[in-house]
Amino acid sequence: MKQLFIKYKSVLKFIATFLMVYAVLTFSYKLFLQYSSGNTYYPDYLTNLVAKQSKEILNALDYRVQLLPHPNEASLKLIINEKYVARVIEGCNSISIIILFISFIIAFSSTFKITVLYILAGSVLIYIANLIRIVILSVGLYHYPWRKDILHTVIFPAIIYGMVCLLWMVWVNRFSNSKK
């Protein structure tokens, strides 16, 4: 048994680090949500920010967009040209994906500086990709509402998670200590 632990030490270290970082970040985020909900920003600060930024991008693309608090759930209704097309919920703000990304990067860490810079750059890329995803999804739902299921549950998750996997592959192959 001891030989198995020695043989798979790096794998066990990766799993333990990943799970620990993921648990700490997820718990911290849940605390943030608990204490930021119901304040000035509805439903929470980050979801509100993503919804407003998506609205600004859509407005720049000549769509008239309104954001209204949903009466029955913690979300914002996204209305394009007076047509309700989507709701922006907490899961739309990309924080859960960023937490997953960060956990993996720290579990395969490199030097402190490189790790922090990659986490910042990757998180910004994921956030921007998520905004673009929401904008394209909203336009798609406005023009092609019958394609809702494939757009929301297949195509756009594949794009965002595909990007995260690509960032992970670049990290492991170019920057992490695992190749040394």
Tally the domains of the chain.
1
Tokens of 119: 């986490």
How many DSSP H helices and E strands does the chain contain?
7, 3
pLDDT given for residue 39 in this prediction: 62
Tokens of 161: 């998670």
Asked whether the predicted pLDDT for residue 178 surpasses 70, the reply is: no
What is the SS3 assignment for 71-96? CCCCCEEEEECCEEEEEECHHHHCHH
Asked whether the predicted pLDDT for residue 177 surpasses 80, the reply is: no
DSSP codes, 84-138: EEEEE-GGGGSHHHHHHHHHHHHHT---HHHHHHHHHHHHHHHHHHHHHHHHHHH
What is the C-alpha separation between 92 and 32, in angstroms, rounded?
16
What is the C-alpha separation between 43 and 104, in angstroms, rounded?
28
| Residue 165 host element (H or E) | helix 156-170
pLDDT given for residue 149 in this prediction: 86
Q: Which domain does 37 fall in, by range?
A: 2-179
Q: What is the mean pLDDT of residues 71-75?
A: 87
Nearest to 88 by CA among 141, 124, 126, 39: 141
For 11-35, how does the pLDDT look when each residue is reduced to its tens digit (9 = 90+)? 889 999 999 999 999 999 999 988 8
For 30-71, how does the pLDDT look when each residue is reduced to its tens digit (9 = 90+)? 999 888 766 677 888 899 999 999 999 999 999 999 999 988
- Return the top range by mean pLDDT from 27-36, 71-80, 95-104: 95-104
